[in-house]
Amino acid sequence: MPDKTLTVATYAAGASFAAITLVYVFGPTFFFDAGPSASTNRNRGAVGLSNPANDCFLNSVLQALAGLGDLRIYLIRETHRRSLDDELVYAQVVPVGLLPGDVQHFRGDMPHWKMEGFQKGLVTKGLKDILDALNERPLYKKTITAMPFLRVLEEAFRQRISRRQQDAQEFLQVVAERLCNEYHAGRRARASARRTCALGDAASELAQTAPDKDSTQGLVTQVNDIEKPQGQSEVVNDELGGGQEEGFPMEGQSESQIECLTCGFKPRPTATTFCTLTLNVPQVSSATTLGACFDGMFKTEYIDDFKCEKCRLMHAILLLEADLERSTSEVARENIRAAIDKLQSALETDPEDPPNDVVLPDLSHAPKRRIARHIRLTSFPKILAIHLSRSIFDASHYSQKNSAKVVFPEKFPLGGLLNQKKYKLLSVVTHKGSHDSGHYETFRRQVMQPPFSNPSTFKPAEVYSRTVSPAPTPHIRAQRSDGGEENSLMSTPDPLSPSGGDSLTPPLDPWKHSVPAPQTSILPDGDKPASPLGSPQKDVLSVSRGRESESTSLRSVAANAKSTFSKITSRPSAGTESNPKSDVMDTSTTKSLTTAKPRRRKVQDRWWRISDDKVKEASTRDVLSMQREVYLLFYEMERA
């Protein structure tokens, strides 16, 4: 018989080893996922970025972009869409001008290699990888490098990026415009591929309907008619044939409108797309606000010495009428009258499109007018990136930094009363130092994006597509004993219903659906024939009796629970006497049932203050207090 002391020591050592193993394996995960109320002082920070050579401008922008949920959703959706498409869709360069609307985003003289890089989406894939790494939840302090993303940028632009002190806003603008161009180039490539497939199908259908040689000649004409673009709307409809795409979330559109204060003519507004908004900080001694900076951009501006097109045509008509009075030749007078009629027609229809066969006076002799100019937003981006320009330039070409305080809110409404959008602050980039040197830091809100669950594997997840599967998941219904169908929810009785004891349906017998029931006759017990299955019949009877007893016990338990619940929640009537002890019990029970849980600190009130590889926690008050150092603001549109 082994020694008792040795056995106890062995068991104690094994239990201690098992406990240590459990704590070592499951301890970090348990404490990490415990949430804000976990009693741990370990730093749960974000992933930092190393700064080997003045890379704070790069690190601050990447950390700010990592906290934008809509941008990450776009990157996931775009890379997934490109991975599903064939490589030939993006390998073949679509010439600029083939589709209407190309001039709005691309120039006609764009090099072939640049358009090829746009269609491949190099920066989109590289930015997704670095943002995924920055959004990792580290158990301990972790620092990565941004060199892989820098290599992607150098490959995309075919030039080396300088490692000297750079401006964070310039880097943000370069990356944002590159992402926007890659999205539109990929969309053009997908539209061109769909158009090519549609033309191939149309040509095959026309070939099948043209068996003889006489109708073969008209086949080429019909195909050429299909290839001709009929307008922007048809191209958009053809492009959206594969499902409507959500655009680049940082892209917005503004519209500039001018008005001549002399004749009241309003030319066609000029639309401009943007990825970042640059607002000038006014030079004030006291603090200014973000709304005042927006007013400086969107307020009405008055410009002098402007050449109005309508006033120019009216001036030309006056000169022609003077020539008509001085002219003595009938042929010259007829030509002048025809020119005047054409100019009058252009004034009534479109003053910006004068007739080509009429010689207008030199533009230098056109009258100068005073105009009013204002800008408004026509398309609100999902992510509003704001750059507060603090540069001051004087006559000696010496630049200084404007250190005026700018009060910015956590939630910012933008737009008019009819189309107002509300934005919420997610990231802030600050700058400390002079105009030519300094250091950038990032404040990033601790926001956990909701998971994109996929309840059915046969349906696409919402993060990738918004289309719905044509074949939904089938619903299995329970079958009654008489052969009819019954909903599975209706076959389960309600134990708290008043008629619960009478409405309980007998439980379904599993043997009844799997094994054919034997044919028996109503005979005395001693004269019953033997079952062809033998013992299973007795088992079926015992199972059914057991289930009947379980249902009876369930009814009794439900009735007792219902009576107890009614006693707790009921109050004595006015005409009856109440027992003080029972009142105290009822009150305490009611209070215990209605006691609310203690409030927890909101997770969205916590921020990360990131300075390269150093990560600290901050609050919203700390972020809003950076009024003198704020440089870049990132707002995200709130979903209705």
Cβ atoms 319, 361 nearer than 8 A: yes
Q: From the candidates 431, 439, 475, 513, which is the catalytic residue?
A: 439
473 DSSP 8-state letter: P
Q: How far apart are CA 292 and CA 439, in angstroms?
A: 26
Q: How far apart are CA 215 and CA 213, in angstroms?
A: 5
**Is 439 considered catalytic here?**
yes
Q: From the candidates 56, 275, 308, 311, which is the catalytic residue?
A: 56
Q: Which runs of E-coded beta strand occur in 472-605?
A: 478-479, 485-486
Q: Distance between alpha carbon 458 and the CA centroid of its chain, in Å?
A: 23
Q: How far apart are CA 192 and CA 96, in angstroms?
A: 12
Which pairing describes strands 614-619 and 630-637: parallel, antiparallel, or unpaired?
Answer: unpaired
Residues 6+ apart with CB under 8 A from 161: 150, 153, 154
Which pairing describes strands 406-407 and 288-289: parallel, antiparallel, or unpaired?
Answer: parallel
Cβ atoms 150, 613 nearer than 8 A: no
Cβ atoms 238, 188 nearer than 8 A: no
What is the gyration radius of the CA atoms in the chain, in angstroms? 38
46 DSSP 8-state letter: P
557 DSSP 8-state letter: H
527 DSSP 8-state letter: G
Tell me how many degrees the CA angle 233-234-236 measures, rounded to the nearest 5. Answer: 65
> What type of residue is 330?
E
CA distances from 541 to 34, 38, 67, 509, 538 (A): 50, 54, 64, 10, 5
Number of H helices, E strands in the chain: 18, 20
What six digits make up the tokens of 510?
């599993």
Cβ atoms 242, 236 nearer than 8 A: no
**Is 180 considered catalytic here?**
no
> What type of residue is 80?
H
Q: How far apart are CA 146 and CA 175, in angstroms?
A: 14
What six digits make up the tokens of 161?
């990026």
Angle at which helix 112-120 crosses helix 168-208, to 10 degrees, equals 90
> What type of residue is 568?
I
Chain length of the chain: 640
CA-based nearest residue to 491, from 475, 474, 508:
508
- Residue positions annotated with a catalytic role: 56, 439
